[in-house]
A and B are shown apart, each in its own frame.
Chain A
Amino acid sequence: MIRIDCPSCGGRDEVEFAYRGDATVVRPAGDAGEEAFHDFVYRRANPRGWHVEWWYHQAGCRQFLKVVRHTMTHEVHAVARAGDRVEVPAAEHTGVPAAEHKGVPAA
């Protein structure tokens, strides 16, 4: 069970959220052209490791949250609001068990 520590609502099960994919891709300006929009929609790093991703708290505060999660361990390293910056750990594993983590405050 992925547990997400929502900044508004507290620690919740993944079932309250809708996943919305890679949060590192940025929608280009409207005149940026087909290539840029192709990359926005289709091109993905799909890392085996830390992944910054959107989770929509559909059954909670309805906020899009930016979550830093590891795609092998499923450890959630950080949960932030949509506009906040998040830090991606350099190491494969932070060494701190998942359940120890609290959402990191907005940077």
Chain B
Amino acid sequence: MTQMFRMASGGIVDRSRTIGFRFDGRAYQGHPGDTLASALLANGVRLVGRSFKLHRPRGIFAAGAEEPNALAELRTGARREPNTRMTQIELYDGLEAASQNRWPSLRWDLLSLNGLIAPLLSAGFYYKTFMWPASFWEKVYEPLIRRSAGLGRASREADPDRYDTMQAHCDVLVIGGGVAGLAAALVAGASGVRVMLCEQDFVLGAGLIGEDEAWRSAALERLAGMANVTLLARTNVFGAYDANVVGALERVADHVAEPGAFVPRQRYWTIRAGRVVHATGAYERFIAFPDNDRPGVMLAGAAATYVARYGVHPGRRALLFANNDAAYQSLFTMQDAGVTVAGVVDPRADSAAQAAARARGITVWSASQVVGTAGSLALSGARVARIGSAGTDTLVAADVLCVSGGINPAVQLATQSRTAVAWSERLASWVPGAALLPQFSAGAANGVTGLREAAADGARAGAGASGAPADALGLPEDRPSDVTVLPFWEVKGSGKAFVDIQDDVTADDIRLAAREGYKHIEHAKRYTTHTMGTDQGKSGGLVGAAVLAEARGERVQDVGMPTFRPFTSPVTWGAIAGTSIGKHFAPTRLSPLHEWHVKRGAVFMDAGQWVRPAYYPAPVDGDGWDSVLREARAARRGVAVCDVSTLGKIDVQGRDAAVFLDRLYTNTFSNLPVGRARYGLMLREDGIVFDDGTTSRLAEDHFFVTTTTANAGPVMQHMEFYLQTVWPDLDVTLASVTDQWAAMSIAGPKARATIERIIEGLDVSNEAFGFMAVADATVKGCPVRVFRISFSGELAYEIATPAGHAQTVWNAVLEAGEAFKIEPYGVEALGLLRIEKGHVTGAELNGQTTAADVGLEKMFKKRGDFVGKVLSQRPGLTDPSRPRLVGVRPVMRGDQLRAGMHLVESGTTHSLGWMTAVTRAVELEGWIGLAMLRDGVARIGSRMQAASPLHGALVDVEIVSPHFVDPENARVRV
């Protein structure tokens, strides 16, 4: 027989449909509207998990986000999610879930033997042992601890589902869709402002079910009709951040087996709210008493929820242990629904609810407490004794023990917004104080309980948040519900009284922590792991604090509470990543010639966000090096063309453009004639080299600056900073034009012969257009700028053209160069050529080097200020023994060099320098490299060793000039 605990009517489950699911492999049935927890209870399943440390049997304890015990591995394979709360899993057809942290089975769990040695496993036991011998920690103790710790098992496969992100703005954000939140949204919505309401549950107004259903449906209908109101069910606000910005997670498709096509599994909302209403409700707290963790012990409100909302009897015979009248309503709800009531145990001498209970024929043990529970894998009864009476207790048969120690308003989000909390004597709990941000707390979150009062409080908050009047709202009917408590936290006795049920932290553990000096609440928390489970101590946090207070001889409110850090409920990792996954983790920047490179079969490499051709394999090439060497040879001996569009380009215009550049660069630009380019070196203000590149003067008041690919953004910001904040009086305008201009470098002895065929309107002869000349021209009708500059050390021209013309110009160059067997060359050959030439790049200019370190000290102008000038003269930066740029060649030309090798005197291990870049050369035999070497200039001509102990490599090398090819720089001028 299935669903033997399901009531014939009541609740909002859809009994017309039956859905099947599996738990630990066994098939069960439930209804739409169920959670996994309610469906398991309907089927009489009591034992659902094992505890973290002692592997004690555990049952369903709550009905919502505060659940400590009922955690499952939901789904299977790549979709398996560990630690999912059964109380929040919406039942769907075919659902599969498994209990966790047990072996070999839930009923027979080997590690439950831990219970026998529990006294050894007291708080902090691991800090006091496992120290001998030292090497055993990683080999023996830690693997054992790691295997037995943890909760569920994570999937090791890629997540097949997708996630979405949303950026939202609203005037009023209502957090919580209980009665207070609905009232707030109704009032704010009626005022016409933009309202959003987030509710973590899959139904709104759940607390009204079985109470005032009419008010609930009317409210939901009205809200649905307001175009300015966005209702987000299944959406938990997980954290409050500065300036009323919150993060929320919407479970879009967790209630189906798999998300449909084009539907994300979850959606991450960033919501910027003008005003926020915290209608986050309250969490019922338990009382610590011996064996208060046995399956069948349940929060009173949760037990009533299973009856009223799900139509499920959480047990056949219920006993209530409570210190407040409101909890009696939970018992009455159960009694009205046909659950046999065993009675009430109440530490208070008398109360209105006690009288009401007696009037209902319920036995009330007043001034009494539960001193223990009976049963093994499920509760069979509770032992009840009068407070102060020694010895005698009565065993009361019950299979569900409803517990209520009062309520804790859910102040987490308010405190994250820096709202201070105040102690409420009536609730014996913390309530929110005055908000610092434009925020309002309402309903149970504000310590206001009872449907009617909470609705009124919500309406007030909605009015405050929107400026609308609140009085028009009709209020729901409710029953008397007084949450005034007798502060009552713990029943001392033999047996474990848990204050953190998930992490197996007992009241004794808290006392032990206090005894050992871990008396501050944060110390006690960390020493015992109290409140550090996935439920974050929602129902037991204050109980532990109270035990600590007693141990310290202080009041609970003087002990304080640990900081409520985000997240209010655990947040799915993939949802935060959203769509920024896989190839979309970072933007991909492509040259306008990218498609051509692809067609040509280039091998690509990442350069920051850019994807650039590394080299272009040809059928004749045996390996990548063959390609690189072939391309570089073409540049040295014939002609080759390289796509250099990724270089940063900044257009600098204005009357003071030249003065501005003089102040930014170590060298002078004001004396640069129009139509000429000059290499420039730029420092940071601390005197370290920042960037280099050529700058061309296109007109008296117009310069074109190039930067390295990596520094395009930072240089632009650097320029703007000095222009706007240091020299705002200068008449200069800057524009980044990196993406607007494509650029290609045509290099090699045949470079001129190649471009002569296509350049229109410009004489590119050496006489008319010498080294470092710049001019406008056209190619196939496309406007181009021609720069006679060279990075390769060969006769070279750089042609820049608006990006849209890139392909036309590139094709023209290739066609013109065909006669000279022109080759495209990639970044690898570019690197080879520059190393042969001894030009520096980011490998040398890595933010640690001075101009002198790389042999560029002569680029400092003698007169006038420039950025970095003063601090570059500090002794630590002018020390002549600093590592300096040199060239390196292996003595045995066949030996391989590696970037990152260190240079040492033969036979020693003391590093004197390191190799920044290496390559096989085309102009020389074998490998060459650049290095930064202490006393480098003095060591030129000497022999050392290049060591890479990581590779087991040690190579005899000679230190040479870094300019391997054409040190006189004659080739560029032919």
Given contacts A1-B272, A41-B686, A73-B418, contact A34 B725 (CB under 8 A): no
Task: Tell whether, in the assembled complex, residue B724 and residue A73 are in contact, meaning their CB atoms are under 8 Å apart.
Answer: no
B728 CB to nearest chain A CB (Å): 5
Asked if B437 is an interface residue, CB under 8 A from chain A, the answer is yes
Closest chain-B Cβ to A79's Cβ sits at a distance in Å of: 13
For residue B246, which residue of chain A has the nearest CB?
A1
**B residues in contact with A41, CB < 8 Å:** 685-686, 871
In the complex, how many angstroms separate the beta carbon of A19 from the nearest chain B beta carbon? 11
Q: Does A44 contact B (CB under 8 A)?
A: no
- Across the interface, do A1 and B270 meet the contact criterion of CB distance under 8 Å? yes
Contact partner, A99, options B244, B685, B721, B726, Cβ 8 Å: B244
- Please tell me if the beta carbons of B864 and A30 are within 8 angstroms of each other in the complex: yes
Q: With A and B bound together, what is the CA distance between A36 and B156 in angstroms? A: 57
- Establish whether residues A27 and B726, one from each chain, have CB atoms under 8 Å apart when the complex forms: yes
Q: Is the CB of B717 within 8 A of A82?
A: no
Question: Cβ of A58 < 8 Å from any Cβ of B?
Answer: yes
Q: Is B865 an interface residue (CB 8 A)?
A: yes
User: Quick one: closest B residue to A101, CB to CB?
Assistant: B243
B725 touches A98 (CB 8 A): no
A74 pairs with B243, CB closer than 8 A: yes
- Asked if B436 is an interface residue, CB under 8 A from chain A, the answer is yes
Cα–Cα distance between A37 and B865 once the two chains are bound (Å): 12
Minimal beta-carbon separation of B497 from chain A (angstroms): 40
Docked complex Cα distance between A32 and B418 (Å): 45
A40-B685 CB under 8 A given contacts A64-B724, A64-B725: yes
Assess whether A30 is in contact with B437, with CB atoms less than 8 Å apart.
no
Please indicate the chain B residues that have their CB under 8 angstroms from the CB of A50 in the complex: none
Quick one: closest A residue to B723, CB to CB?
A64
Interface size on B, residues (CB 8 A): 32
Which of A2, A3, A23, A37 sits near B725, CB closer than 8 Å? A23
Interfacial residues of chain B within 828-878, with CB under 8 A of chain A in the complex: 864-866, 869-871, 873-874
Contact A2 B243 (CB under 8 A): yes
Counting chain A residues whose Cβ lies within 8 A of the other chain, the interface size class is 20 to 34
B870 touches A34 (CB 8 A): yes
Tell me the residues in window 3-17 of chain A with beta carbons closer than 8 Å to chain B beta carbons.
3, 13
Q: Are B418 and A3 in contact (CB under 8 A)?
A: no
Residue contact B242 to A1, C-beta cutoff 8 Å: yes
List residues of chain A with CB within 8 A of the CB of B869.
30
Q: How far is the CB of A68 from chain B (nearest CB, A)?
A: 15
Closest to A33 in B: B870
A39-81, CB < 8 A from B: 40-41, 54, 56, 58, 62-64, 73-74, 76
Output the nearest chain A residue to B866 by Cβ-Cβ distance: A30
Interchain CA distance A2-B242 in the complex, whole Å: 6
- Is B245 in contact with A37, judged by CB distance below 8 angstroms? no
Nearest-neighbour CB distance to chain B for A54, whole angstroms, equals 7
Q: Which residue of B lies closest to A95 (CB)?
A: B436
CA distance A2 to B726 in the complex (A): 25
Most chain A CB atoms below 10 A, which of B274, B275, B437: B437
State in angstroms the CA–CA spacing of A97 and B241 once bound together: 14
Say yes or no: A97 contacts B242, CB within 8 Å. no
Which A residue sits closest to B714, measured CB to CB?
A18
Q: Whose C-beta in chain B lies nearest to the C-beta of A3?
A: B243
B438 at the interface (CB under 8 A from A): yes
Residue pair A37, B871 in contact (C-beta under 8 Å): yes
Q: Give the shortest distance, in Å, between B461 (CB) and chain A (any CB).
A: 15
Report whether B873 and A99 are in contact in the complex, using a CB–CB cutoff of 8 Å: no
Beta-carbon contact of B874 and A34 below 8 Å = yes
Cβ contact within 8 Å between A98 and B721: no
Within the assembled complex, what's the spacing in Å between the Cα atoms of A38 and B872?
Answer: 11
A64 contacts B720, CB within 8 Å? Answer: yes
Q: Which residue of chain A has the shortest Cβ distance to B663 in the bound complex?
A: A30
Q: How far is the CA of A27 from the CA of B418 in the complex (A)?
A: 37
- List 20 additional A-B contacts (Cβ < 8 Å) besides A1-B272, A37-B870: A1-B241, A2-B242, A3-B242, A3-B243, A3-B245, A30-B870, A34-B873, A37-B685, A37-B871, A38-B871, A40-B685, A54-B725, A64-B720, A73-B418, A82-B725, A97-B438, A99-B274, A99-B275, A99-B437, A99-B438
- Can you spell out 25 A-B residue pairs with CB atoms less than 8 angstroms apart? A1-B241, A2-B242, A20-B717, A27-B726, A31-B865, A32-B870, A34-B874, A37-B870, A37-B871, A38-B871, A40-B685, A54-B721, A54-B725, A64-B725, A73-B418, A76-B243, A82-B724, A83-B728, A93-B436, A97-B435, A98-B242, A99-B244, A99-B275, A99-B437, A100-B438
